[in-house]
Amino acid sequence: MITQLLNLEPWWRFAAALLIGALIGLEREFVQQRSGEQEFGGIRTFALMALLGAVAAFLTDQYGPLIFLAVYLGLILLLWASLLASSLRGVEEGITTEVTALLVPLFGAMMIWNQPAVAAALGVITALILALKPRLHGVARRMSAEDLRATLEFSIITAVVLPLLPNEGFGPFGVLNPFQIWLLVVFISGIGFLGYVLMKYLGPERGIGITGLLGGLVSSTATTLSFAGRSKTNAGLSTVLAEGILIASCVMFPRVLVEVAVVNPELVSQVVVPLATMLIAGVIAVYILWRRGRAEEKADHGGVELSNPLRLKTAITFGLVFAVVLVAVEAANEYFGSAGVYIASILAGITDVDSITLSVSNLSLKGLLDPRVAAIAIILATIMNTIAKAVMAMVLGTPRLRRLVSRAFGFVVLAGLISGAVIFSL
């Protein structure tokens, strides 16, 4: 008797279906109350639709598939009649609610058909998409034709091309794995695209600091070049622009750490201390500059002029660079030992730290490169990249920006050298 009482099948499935439908219906009713529009479905309707799908699925398991098919066709006819009635009344509206109504019974059926986790996740995602309507429409309005084309191009080559690439080593030393190389290209481009979207969504009016932070996700080098150049025409903002340059550069250190963690998690412990030390040094420098620049006029909050990073040409270029660096590092290690790897990392770090980070992490993961050598190469690349950006800012910026950036970046580089020397000498 007690066992029967504790057996919640199938009642918990029906209850879960009701909750999913109620969640989606709650969002629909909330929108109707705020907008004053009256649609056919609210919290009760959608909860019952989910329960309808669950009951139909339950009866289908007992008596055959025609039951669910008949119920679902009946729902389609009901929705069609509702749309026809609205059209006859001269009411012009979208079909978002009707499409949602077609999905909800399927979520209820999935609860019965042993897919409760998927049904719950899809239900929450559906409610979230409905709730984000204003923001999604705002993003669409902000998109340019170039943004749309680049995003679609990248989506195609990611979703279509990536699965078709062979997942095995080719070329010199067998280190060129097309699938893994392109997967890392997608990862890096995704980071850049995140920063680009956030920058367009928040807008440059939020200030140079936020622009520097988001610009660092796209490209800290591009941010450095842009801010340093602007200091020539806005000399009074030199301190604030130097702060933005440092913020963008600080983003590089956690970004490198994330890249290492994704490719070779076992390497994180060897690079985390130097990277964290440089990050802390950079944050301290940013704070000092912030204190100095509080009194400066911050009316000019123009952003960094960056193009959409999701470009087919950019992705292919990065993939080729990554492949070349991969072969070069392995060749340097093969013929010149660890010294060759360090030289390659220093040279690569002048323009880009991502390719060398991913390359040595990947080689270390495959056992083709000693983890200690890989860790040192990554730290050398980040230090060299920091020095390169300091030189760019000093060449393009005002004398005041030159002094501020040279001191701040010098502090960061010194912190990296000392912490790296201590860690790798142990």
| pLDDT (average), residues 354-373 | 84
Residues constituting the chain: 426
* Residue 408 CB neighbours (<10 A): 24
Give the residues across from 176 on adjacent strands. Answer: 170
Closest-CA residue to 333 (of 304, 362, 301, 295): 362
Q: If you average pLDDT over every residue of the chain, what do you get?
A: 77
Distance CA 120, CA 131 (A): 17
Distance CA 382, CA 363 (A): 18
Q: What is the pLDDT of residue 368?
A: 82
Query: In the chain, where are the structural domains located?
Result: 2-131, 144-425
What is the tens place of the pLDDT at every residue in 162-182? 778 887 777 676 667 788 777
Closest-CA residue to 107 (of 44, 17, 45, 19): 17
Distance CA 259, CA 188 (A): 8
Q: What is the pLDDT of residue 64?
A: 81
The 8-class DSSP code of residue 176 comes to B
4-18, 53-67, 246-260, 308-322: range with lowest mean pLDDT: 308-322
Give the torsion sign (CA, 297, 300, 305, 310): positive
Q: What is the pLDDT of residue 298?
A: 45
What is the tens place of the pLDDT at every residue in 213-223? 776 776 677 67
| pLDDT (average), residues 88-100 | 71
Q: What is the pLDDT of residue 421?
A: 86
Distances (CA, A) of 414 to 13, 64, 282, 418, 420: 61, 74, 11, 6, 10
| Residue 54 in tokens | 């669950």
Distance CA 387, CA 305 (A): 23
Q: Is 166 exposed, middle or buried (0-12, 13-18, 19+ CB in 10 A)?
A: exposed
Residue 300 and residue 234 in contact, taking contact as beta carbons nearer than 8 Å = yes
**43-48 contact pairs (CB < 8 A, 24+):** 45/101, 46/21, 46/22, 46/100, 46/101, 46/104, 47/18, 47/19, 47/21, 47/22, 48/21
Distance CA 123, CA 113 (A): 15
What is the tens place of the pLDDT at every residue in 304-340? 455 565 666 666 776 776 677 667 766 766 676 667 7
Task: For residue 316, give the amino acid letter.
Answer: I
